[in-house]
A and B are shown apart, each in its own frame.
Chain A
Amino acid sequence: MPIEHPKEETMSLLLSQPGPQSPTSSGRGFVVTLLLVLSVLLLNPSSLLQGDDPPPRRVKIRRSLRQPEPEPDLTIPIGIPTPAFAGELPADAIVKNRTGTYGGRLVYAILGEVDTFNPVEPKGATDQEIRAIVFSGLVDYNNGNWQTGPEVAKSWDVSDDNLTWTFYLREGIRWSDGEPVTIDDALFSFQAVFHDQIATSIKDGFKHPETGALPQVSIDRDRNALIFQLSRVDSQFLTHIGNVRLIPYHKWKDHLQDENPTLLQQMTSNAPPEDLVGCGPFVLKNYVPGEKIVYQRNPYYWKKDARGQRLPYLDEVVILLVKDLNLQWQKFEAGELDIFMELPADHFREASAMEKAGKADLVRLGVSLNSNWVCFNLHPGKDAETGEPFVDPAKSYWFHELEFRKAVNHAIDRDGIQRTAFQGRATPIWSSITPGNRSWYHKGVPTYPHSIDKAKEYLDGLGWKDSDGDGVREDDQGRPIVFNLNTNVENNLRQQIGNLIMQDLRKVGIKVNFKPIIFNDLVTSLRDSHRWDMILLGWGSGVPPDPANGKNITLSSGRLHAWYPQQPEPATAWESRIDSLMTMMDAELDDIVRKKYYDEVQELIGQNIPILYLIAANSYCTSKTNRLGNLWPSLLRPQLTWNLETLWIRD
């Protein structure tokens, strides 16, 4: 679970075109300066003056936001694929229950920039996202039904002790250069990831938490199978397997030397496109740094649809690299992009207006998996150089008081935040797992509904009262309760939330100095310098949305264990219990039992509230009206393009 990156802000004010309307003055208004009127007029208030309205209609509210799986339609034309397919369709081909028409190109935009195309070591989120277009793994996570399914491996089985996993490879499928995909390729790909001298984050998932041992890989040529021997039971093993993308042995065998392997210097962002040999649905056609990535159909792709036609349907996929969200949105509005994923809250009204005008489909995905939270610094440590404590002893004393944290939690008006910052399009949350996460959401987490009286009661109970009448309470040693709240200045929404929290706490006699700072400084102080009092930030969710992916947050030794990271040993009994619950979760394959463990984790955090979860926004995507077939939107990234091989363009 990464820290949610701040949305890129625009640096330019873009004025819209002057509108045709003129005001109809009835003369009853107040006299104002002409300039004021003119300027407001110039800024196009046409949207304020809505035109013809449709008559009231009666519709039934459709509350289920679960996106249905697309159904095949055998009547649509087949079309002609350009470039055409090559090679024979493998006997083992995966059959997708879809239909579509060949041709067309899909254009969308992403925020980041490509660091490398090498699937062994994806560096940023962008690399992660785009490598799935060219490279396939043994198994694949289906964002639509939230399950891991077979991909290059046609099936797998697990031994009774859950330590030996055998993956059976599909036969007759080919790389994008026409060579067959063999068991040697699969073995080679895992050897590359497990190589001593290749540092890749993919490897970390396989490591034994204590010994660091990696699974033993071997092959069984008779059964065409890859066998993994694990040193511990790992519930996330399939996810880790899916993270490893296959690369061709015949192409890179000379680059995996025992000493100083040169594999990571291959398939970089300036490698020739034909070097990127994979078995995914598309191959790289053209990459212009800072501008776009163009993919075309992999002629040897090995999946077929309900009519026996080979996939993918799209001739081309174009990803524009646009560094600014507002710019991306303008491109979508201008019709340059077919889809727009992760609609920012401040473009909702425009998107909804486009929907009403029939220009775009607004996909409502329900409550997002990303959470916003505030957290107190509970770090008891001291700066190694100066010997000063990270947190002022007085503040540390308040923050460690559970009653104080409860008071703060009661004082924060989540409904107010929802109404103000999100205009109603958000849901208050009490745990890192939002209601959007159908598999892991737990209703039994303690809640602290907004109540100023209760907050005051808790503070009075501690004996922290406003003795000098300045509106700020003093603690039992007479120190006024004043501390700082930081958030990242790039995110307007969080600035609003911070401002509201400041106001809420002022009402119960706690003075908060709200200071938005630069994101990088914020993360540095959170992770390294530990010099902060209270922080407002958010977690983004990983794929799959399994809490085991959030171990760096939940475990007391985790680097993002926000309130006191990288503890040498659990600081409290409940953190120690959480650690052991997380370990038990790892060793359990039954998701029902695992959920029970994690429910307890959520309850423990809810009871001790070192971190106060606030609110999760609703999630939206947009696409051009009726432009794409087989769209199956998902809450998980990439929301609309995860099933790229079955998307097709309606024209």
Chain B
Amino acid sequence: MTDTQPPQSNLPPPRGPWTMLWHRLRKNKLAMSGAAILLVLYLISCFGGFIGPYGSNEINKYTVKYGPMLLGGYVIEKIDELIDEDENFEEIIRDTYIRKWEWFEGGVHFHDSDGNFTLRPHVHPLREYVSWDAYGETEYILAEDRSISVPVSFFVEGSEPHEIFSLCGFFPIKGLPHLMGIAAEDHPTGKDLHTGLFLLGTDILGRDLWTRILYGGQISLSVGLIGILISISIGLAIGGIAGYFGGLVDFWLMRLVELLLAIPGLYLILTLRYAIPDELSPRQTYMMIVAILAIVGWASIGRMIRGMVLSLRECEYALAARALGGSSTRVILRHLLPNTASIVIVTATLYVPYYILGEVALSFLGFGITEPDSSWGLLLKDCQGSEVLKYNPWLVTPGLFIFLAVLAYNFLGDGLRDAADPRAFLGVSRKEKS
């Protein structure tokens, strides 16, 4: 049997088209960094419940709108002493405070209460001050108590079972541990002391923003992925049928596509949203958003597939398949659509950002994910109004994650397109030969 084997050759083994695509993609640094960012984003979202130090909706009335501990901390400063009178006309001194942000002072630091350097990160507990103004109105101000340092522990047990791992909220694996957090026994006792590990700050209800971002990523990142899967499927089916059969079928299907494309996207999304009843569970809301985005998004993909199939069906192999008596279904599924695969993958990658942004827009406007769930668009909803940007700029961090994800998808998509381009193919192979 050994003599039937092909003779040994010095040439590298022939590569399939996918290997070549991967090979070329790997050389594109931008695309690879995009892929790496996406991988990290998806991983931390899937393990969000574990990585985040808190539960997804763990409200803390005492830690509202505190700044990101990674970047520094607030200190308090006394401004005024005000004279007040109690019922017996006795004077009471009330203090007016303001708090100041100190960059890279306090926050997450590496020394213990005695000031000794340690490798274990520490945080200061937050103390609540009541600040009075000259009209007798009070305000609660939260700032660090720099005299105490609380160690950050790893693999601490949370108070309630939460998901350790889940695929965008589906198939959750539940458990107690958090990657890091502050162990219950380390919480300093004392009135007005509120300890927490708020790496990226807290939101308007005192919830840890980092945790919320992780949970929000499960939704925001998967909406794009599932949405594009659905609309690609619809697009492939409609585009394949229209392109293969041509004639009247093609004519009417393409008019339908044009109809969908003619309606401005956001308005179509909002109209569809209004058509769906409000009595939905969070899971249903999620599916609804995916469905809406997919319904709006398949048209241009379908049109593109149709164009490709139209040209592919005249190729020799397609003609041969038909001549040999292959059924329409078989020709479309086995011969035509597989040949659109590379372009479909590229398009899909480039389209995912629109789905992510679509979810963000819907949730931001209040038509998508609503409290108490989390999504990046919903988190951005808190940033409406100029005051937040002035005084609580860290609440915009979810926007940064959206930015990252969209950018990464675009890099990856661009890289994929270049890699799948047959003209680029020649150039690369020539270079390889020389």
- A221 interface residue (CB < 8 Å to B): no
Per-residue contact bits, chain A 558-582, to B (CB 8 Å; 1 contact, 0 not): 0000000000000000000000000
A474 nearest CB across to chain B (Å): 20
Interface digits, A68-90 against B, CB 8 Å rule (1 contact, 0 not)? 00000000000000000000000
The 8 Å CB contact of B386, one of A37, A329, A421, is: A329
User: Which residues of chain A from 500 to 553 have any CB-CB distance to chain B below 8 Å in the complex?
Assistant: 500, 502-503, 513-518, 521
Binding stretch for chain A, among B67-75, B286-294, B295-303? B67-75
Question: How many Å lie between the Cα of A421 and that of B78 in the bound state?
Answer: 24
Does B132 sit at the interface, judged by CB under 8 A? yes
| Closest Cβ–Cβ distance, residue A55 to chain B (whole Å) | 9
Interchain CB contact under 8 A, A30 and B70: yes
Which of A65, A421, A423, A492 touches B384 (beta carbons < 8 Å)? A492
- State A423–B84 Cα separation when bound (angstroms): 21
CB-defined interface of A332-364 with B at 8 Å, one 1/0 digit per residue? 010000000000001111100000000000001
Task: Mark B365-391 against chain A: 1 for CB-CB distance below 8 A, else 0.
Answer: 111001110000000111111111111
Q: Output the least CB separation between A49 and chain B (Å).
A: 6
Chain B min CB distance to A377 (Å): 14
Tell me the complex Cα distance, A425–B381, Å: 22
Q: Contacting chain A: which of B241-249, B254-262, B392-400?
A: B392-400
CB distance B140 to A517 under 8 Å? no
Pick out which of these stretches binds chain A: B97-105, B171-179, B224-232, B413-421.
B97-105
Query: In the complex, how many residue pairs between chain A and chain B have their CB atoms under 8 Å apart?
Result: 197
Say whether A423 contacts B64, CB under 8 Å: yes
Q: Are A492 and B381 in contact (CB under 8 A)?
A: yes
User: What distance in Å separates the Cβ of A225 from its nearest Cβ neighbour in chain B?
Assistant: 47
Is the pair B104, A29 in contact by a Cβ cutoff of 8 Å? Answer: yes
| Cβ 8 A contact of A57, one of B80, B136, B371 | B80
Does B137 lie within 8 Å of A420, measured CB to CB?
Answer: no
Q: Say which residue of A10, A39, A60, A495 sits within 8 Å of B371 (CB atoms).
A: A495
Q: How far is the CB of A12 from the nearest CB of chain B, in Å?
A: 9
Closest to B386 in A: A14
Flag if B64 contacts A420 (CB, 8 Å).
yes
In the complex, the answer to whether A49 meets B366 with C-beta atoms within 8 Å is: no
- 8 Å CB contacts to B: which residues of A84-133? none
Indicate whether B94 reaches chain A with its CB closer than 8 angstroms.
Answer: yes
Q: Is A15 among interface residues, defined by CB-CB distance under 8 A?
A: yes
**In the complex, which residues 1-20 of chain A have their Cβ closer than 8 Å to any Cβ of chain B?**
9-11, 13-16
Q: Is the CB of B98 within 8 A of A50?
A: yes
Question: Which single residue of chain B is at the shortest CB-CB distance from A42?
Answer: B393
> Is A516 touching B400 in the complex (CB atoms < 8 A)?
no
Q: Is B204 close to A, CB under 8 A?
A: yes
Interface positions of B from 99 to 145, Cβ below 8 Å from A = 100-101, 103-105, 107-110, 121, 132, 134-140
**Residues B135 and A14 in contact, CB atoms below 8 Å apart:** no
User: Residue A384 at the B interface, CB < 8 A?
Assistant: no
Please tell me the number of chain B residues within 8 Å of chain A, measured between CB atoms.
69
CB A348 to nearest CB in B, in angstroms, measures 8
Known: A16-B390, A44-B389, A58-B81. A420 touches B61 (CB 8 A): yes
The reply on B41 being an interface residue by CB < 8 A is no
Question: Is B79 touching A54 in the complex (CB atoms < 8 A)?
Answer: yes
Q: Judging by beta carbons under 8 Å apart, are A14 and B389 in contact?
A: yes
Q: Mark B34-57, 1 if CB is under 8 A from A, else 0.
A: 000000000000000000000001
Whether B205 sits at the interface, judged by CB under 8 Å, is: yes
**Interface residue? A489 (CB, 8 A):** yes
Task: Check: A262 CB closer than 8 A to any chain B CB.
Answer: no
B240-283 with Cβ < 8 A to chain A: 278-279, 281
Assuming the contacts A54-B79, A498-B371, asked whether A419 and B134 have C-beta atoms less than 8 A apart, the reply is: no
Q: How large is the interface on A (under 10, 10 to 19, 20 to 34, 35 or more residues)?
A: 35 or more
Q: Closest approach, in angstroms, between the C-beta of A548 and any C-beta of chain B? A: 32
Given A30-B70, A59-B82, A347-B387, A44 contacting B393 (CB threshold 8 A): yes
Which residue of the partner chain, among A23, A60, A348, contacts B82 with CB atoms under 8 Å? A60
Q: Given A11-B365, A49-B100, A492-B381: A59 and B134 within 8 A (CB)? A: yes
Are A39 and B105 in contact, CB atoms less than 8 angstroms apart? Answer: no
Max chain B CB contacts within 10 Å: which of A10, A43, A421, A517? A43
Query: Measured between alpha carbons, how far is A282 from B326 in the docked complex, in Å?
Result: 85
Judge whether A159 is part of the interface by a CB distance below 8 angstroms. Answer: no
Question: Which residues of chain B are within 8 angstroms of A50 by Cβ–Cβ distance?
Answer: 98, 100
Cα separation A206 to B366 with both chains bound (whole Å) = 42
- Mark out the residues of chain A between 401 and 430 whose CB falls within 8 Å of any chain B CB in the assembled complex: 413, 416, 419-421, 423-425
C-alpha gap A49/B104 in the complex (Å): 13
Chain B residues contacting A413 (CB-CB under 8 Å) are 61
Q: B400 to A39, Cβ gap below 8 A? A: yes
Q: Considering the chains assembled together, what is the distance between the CA atoms of A58 and B387 in angstroms?
A: 29
- Give the distance to chain B from A472, nearest Cβ to Cβ, in Å: 14
Q: Which one of B79, B104, B205 lies within 8 Å of A500 (CB-CB)?
A: B205
Q: Which residues does chain A contribute within 8 Å of B80, judged by CB atoms?
A: 56-59
Decide yes or no whether B59 CB sits under 8 A from chain A: yes
B83 contacts the other chain (CB 8 A): yes
In the bound complex, do residue A65 and residue B387 qualify as a contact, i.e. CB atoms below 8 Å apart?
Answer: no
Decide yes or no whether B186 CB sits under 8 A from chain A.
no
The verdict on B206 contacting chain A, using a C-beta distance below 8 Å, is yes
**CB pair B206 A32 closer than 8 Å:** no
Q: Which residues of B contact A515 (CB under 8 A)?
A: 278-279, 370
Q: Are A516 and B104 in contact (CB under 8 A)?
A: no
A12→B110 CA distance, assembly (Å): 40
Is A26 a contact partner of B104 (Cβ separation < 8 A)?
A: yes
Known: A29-B71, A489-B366. A517 touches B278 (CB 8 A): yes
The distance in angstroms between the C-alpha atoms of A10 and B394, with both chains bound, is: 19
Query: Which chain A positions have C-beta within 8 A of B108?
Result: 29-30
Q: Mark B178-200, 1 if CB is under 8 A from A, else 0.
A: 00000000000000000000000
> When the two chains form the complex, which single residue of A11, A44, A420, A514 contacts B206, counting CB atoms closer than 8 Å?
A420
Contact of A350 among B84, B135, B140, B390 (CB under 8 A): B390
Q: Which of B57, B103, B109, B205 has the most CB of A within 10 A?
A: B103
Interface contact A500-B61, CB-CB below 8 Å: yes
Residues of chain A contacted by B205 (CB below 8 angstroms): 420, 496, 499-500
Shortest Cβ distance from B65 into A: residue:
A423
Question: Whole-angstrom distance between the alpha carbons of A498 and B57 in the complex?
Answer: 13
Given contacts A45-B101, A58-B82, contact A425 B137 (CB under 8 A): yes
Q: Write the nearest CB–CB distance from A395 to chain B, whole angstroms.
A: 14
Selected contact of B107 from candidates A30, A65, A349, CB within 8 Å = A30
Contact, CB under 8 Å: B83 / A58: yes
Q: Cβ of A36: which chain B residues have Cβ within 8 Å of it? A: 70-71, 397, 400
Tell me if B314 is interfacial: C-beta within 8 Å of chain A. no
> CA separation between A420 and B207, bound complex, in Å?
11
Return chain B residues, CB-CB under 8 Å to A44: 389-390, 393
CB distance from A243 to the nearest CB of B (A): 34
Are A500 and B59 in touch, CB under 8 angstroms? yes
A326 within 8 A of partner (CB):
yes
Complex: how many Å from CA A39 to CA B68? 13
Would you call B101 and A48 a contact (CB within 8 A)?
Answer: yes
| Contact in complex: A13, B383 (CB < 8 Å) | yes
Whether A386 sits at the interface, judged by CB under 8 Å, is no
Residues of A within 8 A of B206 (CB): 420
Q: What are 23 pairs between A and B in contact, CB < 8 Å? A: A10-B384, A14-B389, A27-B104, A30-B70, A32-B71, A40-B394, A45-B101, A47-B391, A50-B98, A50-B100, A61-B136, A62-B136, A346-B385, A347-B385, A350-B386, A364-B137, A421-B204, A489-B370, A492-B381, A500-B61, A503-B59, A514-B371, A515-B278
Report which B residues bind A (CB closer than 8 A): 57, 59, 61-62, 64, 67-68, 70-72, 77-84, 94, 98, 100-101, 103-105, 107-110, 121, 132, 134-140, 204-206, 278-279, 281, 365-367, 370-372, 380-391, 393-394, 396-397, 399-400, 404
Other 19 A-B pairs with CB < 8 A, given A59-B83, A421-B204, A425-B139: A23-B104, A27-B104, A28-B109, A40-B397, A43-B389, A48-B101, A60-B84, A63-B135, A65-B135, A419-B64, A420-B205, A420-B206, A492-B204, A498-B371, A499-B57, A513-B281, A516-B371, A518-B366, A521-B278
Which 3 A-B pairs rank lowest in CB-CB distance, beginning with the nearest? A29-B104, A48-B101, A23-B103
